[in-house]
Structure 1
Amino acid sequence: MKISNRTFVISGGSSGLGLATVDDLLQCNAYVAVLDISPIPSPVADERFKSRVLYVQTDVTQEDQVESAVDRVVEWTKSTGAYLGGVINAAGIAVAGLTVNRQGQPHSTRTWDRVLGVNLTGTFHVTRLVAKHLVTVPREYELSDGIDGERGVIVMISSTVAYEGQAGQIAYAASKGAIRSMTLPMARDMSRYGVRVVSLAPGPFETPMTGQFSRTMTDRLGNEALLFPKRYGMPEEFAATVKWVLECPYVNGETFKLTGGARVPAML
């Protein structure tokens, strides 16, 4: 797929991995619609890109808000002439919770519902409501854009926690494991329309989420879990991987790890 002059919906695009992806796609001459609770930082939404960025304040856990936001994006594409090219689901949260804590209290259902609501249900809402419009986009060869008749790409974000979650990551692991499990059946669903589906499973990256980690946890990750390079991933490296997924037509139905070879221990 050619990224230039196509429109990509990015949930959670105002920070972290989503923001890096927004910036990278803008550099590739794409149009970007950001669905997030928080506004886009001004360095991204500056004059150079003003006409290519649409921000819609959206709580991805609220189906009506997502539907309204996607409808607004579709109307925007009509005014810009930049057809939908895909969706990148970067909205996510991580909240720790043990099955039973040291005080004998069971895992909070409120925490469970919140994490699953944002990470899993939010991804589901954004994806299906964008997909409804993506399947009507003219095929690639009609746009003189390729030979496969590709219409677009759906990118979801799983996590290495889907494979090797730590103690206290039950809700987070459940949400990311479900996304990993959704990938292949969704790719099979969407194949008839010429839409690819790919998930990325990053390890620790330099984001506001990992910024919540204690210094002890960060040091232990560096000493015990990270191989090479011995650092967290950079958001730009994640964005470069998204670009590769979008541009390589033979990437489909898979979940790809971005870990630097790291294997997180059961406990830190």
Structure 2
Amino acid sequence: MRLVSEWRDVFTTAARIGFREFSTFYTWRAWVFGWFLRLVAQVIFFGSMGLLVQSPERIRYMVVGNATAVVCIEALAVITSTVRERALGTLALQVAAPADYALTYLGRGIYCLITGVVSSTSALFVAALVFRIHLPFPGLLLVPFLMLVTGASAYALGIAIGAVVMRFPALQFLALNLAYLSLMTFCGVNVPVDYWPGAVSTVTDFLPLTHGLKALRTVLDSGGWTDVLPSLVREIAVGGFWLLIGILLLKHAVTGERRRGTIELSG
């Protein structure tokens, strides 16, 4: 129990530092009228595609899919954290500290996930008002939870990708863009997963968003827990898989950097 308490304290402290860092990037006005407005515009843009075919079902499909993709976009921003930690000189300090650096790294970027849940949930509600989409009660109460589960899976994938790009700082934004665009393309955001060839559909079973989005669509189609649970469990399993891979890759990357003596104390 003492070890768990210590882990909790380390994680929450790292999370507070991350949120403080986030607050230096954005004021609430800049976030709402800059970043959040951009995300809402993106969801509404894709939802408007349904207007071209005069299909309320297509509008609903696009809005729900793209609003859910928002949480993945924000959660995957943790990919850039590894490079930023090195540039700021904090990675070396985390490695030198007695606490597990994987735990502090997970906590430092958790604001990406939390703000992603707020953004995606709010964007869904705003777009639903714009297009007059009915969100059934009490299913809509589960939206933030399902966004959290989906975003956590994407966050775990971001940790894994971030560990890989640690050695290739110039590729951080390329990796981020390829990651979230791949999820948006293949994981059921704008077209069903089974639209793609069988091999692609098989790969998407192991990617974040696929099962979480399916669970959310089921809830918003007034499905019960017995319908939602299989997809929810699969999304949690996918997140756990990528979290394990991410931690192993991070430890491997840091071990390699220490061996080469390339963990800089400053940018």
TM tier, smaller: 0.3 to 0.5
TM-score when normalising by structure 2: 0.34
Identify the structure with the greater helix proportion. 2
Indicate the structure whose relative CO is greater, using CA pairs within 8 Å and at least 6 residues apart.
2
Q: Which has the higher strand share?
A: 1
